[in-house]
Structures are given as structure tokens and as C-alpha cells.
Amino acid sequence: MRSVAVVGAGQAGIVLSAALLRAGWRVTLCSDLTAEQYLESGERPTACLFGDQVEYEAALGLDDFPDAPRADRIRLDLYTDDRLVALSVDAPLRKPALAVDQRLKFARGLRELAARGATVVTGSVTEGDLDSLAATHELVVVTVGRKTFGSLFARDPARSVHTSAQRTLFTVNVRGYDLDAHPRHRDIVFTFVPGVVEVFWVPFWDKDAGASRSIAVEAVPGGPADRFGAVTTASEGLAVLRGLVDEMLPGQASFLAPVRPTRETTWLKGAVVPAVREPVAVLPSGRHVLGLGDAVVLNDPIAAQGANNATRMARFFASRLGDYDGTAAWLRARFEEFWEVGRHANDFSEGMLVPMARHQRDVLVAASRHPEVGERLWEGFNDPSTLVPWFFDAAAAREFLARRGVGRWDVLRYRLGVAGTVLGRRVFRRPAPA
């Protein structure tokens, strides 16, 4: 029987372990936290999964959350820097998205995998421990996320775009909102002030409160929305968020007014320095380990790709490892194969961090008038390879729009329409949609 040690019971580790158990491998799952400790832990990100990844988890029997709210649409409001909504895109997702509290998910995953025959070992694995795991297993896969083993997998300078964080982050989970008064919030809402802040309002299944909303803020460092640094509790963060919304996104103020945190300890702040690392590390003994998930491909969460990508990587490697020949070269070659498609998640994340190119603004303007264009745009969250080439290339974008009946003159007309809307809102101070 083939044997694998998976280090880290997070998104990549749970999914990979479930897939390899199903394929008949003997799995040792090493987790620094027990299921109970996961449930008691504090900070955890939003981690919204999109359609294909939701389906894959379901196919692996990891989807035991029947009451969790699914999102069928994304509604984007693009604000001007004087608090007006310039443009909205409201389009369906091809398949529902699902965001479940990772503490609950990973706690259940640990218990479920133990019940299916995995050997669960609790305790924080050190770099030194990896060697004894490698001596007793055919393969060791390190899926410890972004915070540990930072130097084990060498940074790949050719594939890493940044050396500093491009956003500061704040997340809080809330309940107490009124969906009848704010029906747009039944699905995912994005509210962006370009160059200043992106706020994501995501239907969420919280381990304490059940159906709730996870609000994730991405602020441009040093800008007027970068104000969560001194926050120490969920309530403090929510108060800062209310101030920010009043100043910059007034359309969301009434939604936010009645909410309260699901728990004082359920929130996070921080920043991510995106990086791509070598997928295989050679230990002092000469044995090697494979890295998956954030440990190797770490993106800013702006395009919600981290957990989706961890799932894609786990799925990809689970489908290939049956042919593993025990060499580092084989693992490196499979990573290159993965990267052919996987790199599009990085390009998409990078595309959302920088100011939009003109052709991307044209696509967005067209999407505000044609939901089918919006649907193709949103499909990028599920499968970023579908954005290629049209999201990244001006000529391809023109062709993409033309095939959907949107010509250059239409784009010009829509642009003038947006300018007229903004002017009208400036003159009449019409409230933005909530």
C-alpha cells in the first residue's frame, strides 16, 4: 500500500488526504491542532470557495453543511472617491459559491478522515520532524499554510511579483442584519473604491452563529482606508469599519447599522506578501518533501484564490500521484504541469491588485449592461484560466466583447452613460443602492 504523510490539516491537507484515502493510500495526517482546538481558535479567513471547488469537496464527502448559505450571484458597486456609485455589475455565478468557517470545516475534516482510516497525529511538526516522516513514508506533503516553514521552500524570484504586501487586511463575521431590507446581500456583494479599498460582503456559515456575513476589507497601504492597525477586538474593528463605510461607501451604512460580531474573538487583521516558491524541498538527509497550498503558492486574498487554489493543487496532485516514482524530479515536473493552468490564479490576483487597464474597464462597463459578460467575468473566480486571453489582452478583450454583440461604439456609449450617471448623482446627490 502506498503511504503519504500530510503535514497540516487545512484546506490543501484535508482535501488531499481525503482524495488519497479514496485512492487507497495509507495516510498519516499531522495537525498542530486537534478538532477541539480548531473550534476554539480565533482568527480564520473568509475562504469562499467557488463552484468547481465546492463540487470537488462534495464529491469527496467533505460537504456536510446543508444549511450553509450558497451565493448565486456577485453584485459589484464601483464607487467614486466622492462616495457615489459610478457603476454596478449584477451577474450570476455559473455554479453556487460557498464560504464555511475553516475552524468548523477542518475540525470536522480531521474527525471524518480519522473515521475513514487516516492516522491523525497531533502536534506542531518541525522542519527536523520532516526527515523522520520522509524515512517512514513514500511521500511527505507539507501543507502548513503561509505562516510556518517560510524558508523551507525557496522563493522563486522569477514567479514572485512582490516583495511587500499590496493590501492591509481586516475581516470580521457579523450577524443581526436585515436581508428583507437589503435583498442584494443574499448573495456576494463587492464594494470597491479604486485605488483606496475593496470590501467583500460574503454569505458565510460561522461556527458559532451559523448563517452570517463575513466582511473582508482590503485597504491600499498608507491610504485613507488603511486604519485597522490598532484594532484589538471584533467590536473595535466593526466600529472602524462603520466609520469607513460612512465616509466612503454610504450605500452600505444601513446594512451595517444593526449588525454585531458573531464573537469577539472571530476577526483578523494582517497583510500577505504574495510569493511563489519551489514546490520541492530537499532535506539535510537528501530526502525530499512536496509543498502544496499557501506554503508554495501564496496570493493576496483580493481575488479569493488561496483556498480555491489549495483545492485545485490538491486535486491535481491527487489525480497524478498514482504514477509517482519516488523522485523529486517527478514532483517538480508535475508542478510545472500544474503551473501551466495554476499560474492564471496568480495573474488574476495580480490583475486585481493593480489599477485596471483600459480594456479591463471596458469589459467592466460592458458587464454593467450585459449580465452574460458579467457572468464570464465572475467565472474567473471559479476558474481563472477562462479569463485568458481576453482579461489580459486589449485586442482579445475587443474580440471577446464583439462576439457578445458589444462593439467599440457601444463601449463608448456605455462609458458616456456612466459619466452621465455620475454627473446626475453629483448634481442630485442620489443615494447609492444598499
Ligand X SMILES: Cc1cc2nc3c(=O)[nH]c(=O)nc-3n(C[C@H](O)[C@H](O)[C@H](O)COP(=O)(O)OP(=O)(O)OC[C@H]3O[C@@H](n4cnc5c(N)ncnc54)[C@H](O)[C@@H]3O)c2cc1C
Complex with ligand X: residue 345 or 418, whichever CB lies closer? 345
CA distance readout (Å), 359 to 102, 227, 379, 395, 411: 36, 32, 18, 8, 10
Complex with ligand X: residue 202 or 411, whichever CB lies closer? 202
Least Å distance, CB 172 to ligand X, is: 10
For residue 377, give every residue at least 6 positions away whose Cβ sits within 8 Å of its Cβ, in sequence order, or none. 89, 91, 363, 364, 367, 387, 391
Complex with ligand X: residue 54 or 432, whichever CB lies closer? 54
Least Å distance, CB 92 to ligand X, is: 18
Residue 427, exposed/middle/buried by CB under 10 A (0-12, 13-18, 19+)?
Answer: exposed
Least Å distance, CB 421 to ligand X, is: 30
Peptide bond into 389 cis (omega under 30): yes
To which residue does cell 460580531 refer?
A: 261
To which residue does cell 456576494 refer?
A: 188
Least Å distance, CB 20 to ligand X, is: 15
Least Å distance, CB 214 to ligand X, is: 8
Q: Are 375 and 339 in contact (CB under 8 A)?
A: no
Complex with ligand X: residue 366 or 387, whichever CB lies closer? 387
Least Å distance, CB 307 to ligand X, is: 3
For residue 28, give every residue at least 6 positions away whose Cβ sits within 8 Å of its Cβ, in sequence order, or none. 3, 4, 5, 6, 118, 119, 121, 133, 137
Q: How far apart are the C-alpha atoms of 23 and 324, rounded to whole Å?
A: 13
Least Å distance, CB 58 to ligand X, is: 16
Residues in the site for ligand X, rule: CB under 6 A? Answer: 7-13, 30-33, 45-48, 106, 124-125, 143-145, 148, 169, 171, 216, 272, 293-295, 301, 304-308, 310
Complex with ligand X: residue 45 or 366, whichever CB lies closer? 45
List the one residue out of 107, 311, 294, 99 whose CA is nearest residue 216: 99
Q: 10 Å Cβ neighbour count for 25?
A: 23
Q: How far apart are the C-alpha atoms of 294 and 296, rounded to whole Å?
A: 5
Residue facing ligand X at closest CB distance: 10
Complex with ligand X: residue 192 or 400, whichever CB lies closer? 192
Complex with ligand X: residue 149 or 255, whichever CB lies closer? 149
